[in-house]
Amino acid sequence: MRLQPGHRRIATVAVTVLVFLALLFVGTTVQVPYVALGPGPTVNTLGTIDLQDGKDTTTKPVVDITGVPTDPTTGNLNLTTVSVTDGMSLFQALGMWASGRYTLEPRDRVFPPDQTPDQVREQNQQDMSGSENNATAAALRYLNRPTALEVVVVAPDGPAAKVLQKGDRVISVAGKPVATTEEMQAAVKSNAPGTAVPIEIERNGVRQTVTVTLAARPDDPKVGYLGVTPDVVNADPALKIDYNVGDIGGPSAGMMLTLAVIDRLSPGELTHGKFIAGTGTIDDEGDVGPIGGITHKTRAARDAGATVFLVPDKNCAEAASDAPDGLELVKVTTLQSAVDALGDVGAGRAAPHC
C-alpha cells in the first residue's frame, strides 16, 4: 500500500525524530573509551597549599623545611600538572576536543586494562614519593650538604639478603666509593656474577666491611646482581624536609621541588621575584628527564601568570610547537643548567631557549 504524500511526510518526520532521539541518547549517556587531557592545577613550590582533612582545612608550606635556618623567597616556582577527564559521553568528548584546550587519548593509555583506577592512583602516588626523595637528594648534593647512600629495600631472595640490612649506609663497593644510586649500580655491574664483592657500610654508626657473592641479573645473566635498592638520603639529623602537594601524583614535579629546596636553603633568590613555572623529572645526580603533556602544562602555567617556563630539553620541540603567547620557554638538561638559566633570566641575559 502506497502512503499518501501527507502520510509520507509524517513518517519521515517520525523517523527523523526517532533517529535524533537515538543519537541524543547515545551521545549523552554512552561513555566513550577516551579520556581528555588538558591544563591542570599549578602549585607554587615556594608557597603554601590548603589541604582538606575531612571537614577541616589546614594550610601548610608546599616545601616544609625545619630544623635549620632558611632564606626568605619571593616570586614563584610553580610545578605544573595535566588534568584527566574520564567517563565522558560522546558529546562531552567532542565538546572538549573542539575547545582546542584538550586532547583525546585512548583510555587504556592512562588507565591500563590490567589495573584499576585506584591502582593507577596508587602508582602515581608512589612515583610522586620517589620524586620527592630524588628532589631532596639532588638539592642537598647540589648544596654540598650531608647525604648518605642508604639501603631501603633488600630482596628477600637476593644474594645480599643475609648480609645487608635496610638502613645500612653504603660507603664503597669493591673498593670504589659510591655516593649515588647510579654510582652503586655501576660498581656492582662492573663485576661478573659469582664474584665475591667487599662492601663497606655503616650500620648503627659503626663502619664495617661485608662480602656478598653476586648472582646473575634476571634480565642479563652476564651482569652481576646484588639484590638491594639504595637511595640517597639526608644525613643531617637536624634538617627535616617534607612535601605537601595535595592530590598530585607522578614523577614530573621533581625538578621544581628541587629548585624550591635550593632556593630556601641558599642565600639570594633563584626567581629574582619572577613568576617561573616548569616541569621535569629529577634523579639524585641532578639529571632532568622528559615528561608527558608538555603543551597542557605550558598553557596551565601561562593561564596562572607565569612568564618563564623551564622545559626538559627532550620536550623542547613539542613545547615550541604550541607555545602560549607571553611565555618564554627555557631549555634545561640538568639541575645546574636550570639554576644557571634562572640566573640568566634574572640578570636579563639570554638563556638557552627551545
Sort 324 into a burial class: Cβ within 10 Å, 0-12 / 13-18 / 19+.
middle
Mean per-residue pLDDT over the chain, rounded: 89
Other beta carbons less than 10 A from residue 268's beta carbon: 11
The reported pLDDT for the residue numbered 206 is 95
Distant-in-sequence, close-in-space partners of 11: CB < 8 Å, separation ≥ 6: 3
Least confident of 8-17, 181-190, 335-344: 8-17
Match 638559566 to its residue by C-alpha cell. 341
pLDDT at 271 over 90: yes
Other beta carbons less than 10 A from residue 293's beta carbon: 25
Other beta carbons less than 10 A from residue 191's beta carbon: 17
For residues 308-315, average pLDDT: 97
% pLDDT > 90, the chain:
68
Q: Chain centroid to CA 73: how far?
A: 23
The reported pLDDT for the residue numbered 337 is 97
186: three-class secondary structure by DSSP: helix
Q: pLDDT tens digits for 54-113?
A: 777 889 999 999 999 999 999 999 999 999 988 888 878 888 888 888 998 888 888 888
pLDDT at 192 over 60: yes
The reported pLDDT for the residue numbered 171 is 96
Higher pLDDT, residue 204 or 54: 204
Confidence bin at 249 (pLDDT 50/70/90): confident
Integer Cα distance of 124 and 310 in angstroms: 22
Integer Cα distance of 87 and 242 in angstroms: 34
Contact status, residue 64 vs residue 242, Cβ threshold 8 Å: yes
Cα distances (angstroms) measured from residue 317 to each of 282, 343, 353: 20, 23, 11
The reported pLDDT for the residue numbered 13 is 52
Beta pairing partners, 104 = 36
pLDDT at 114 over 90: no
The reported pLDDT for the residue numbered 3 is 46
The reported pLDDT for the residue numbered 27 is 44
The reported pLDDT for the residue numbered 4 is 52
- The conformation of residue 334, written as its DSSP 8-state character, comes to B
Interior angle at CA 92, CA 88 and CA 96, nearest 5: 110
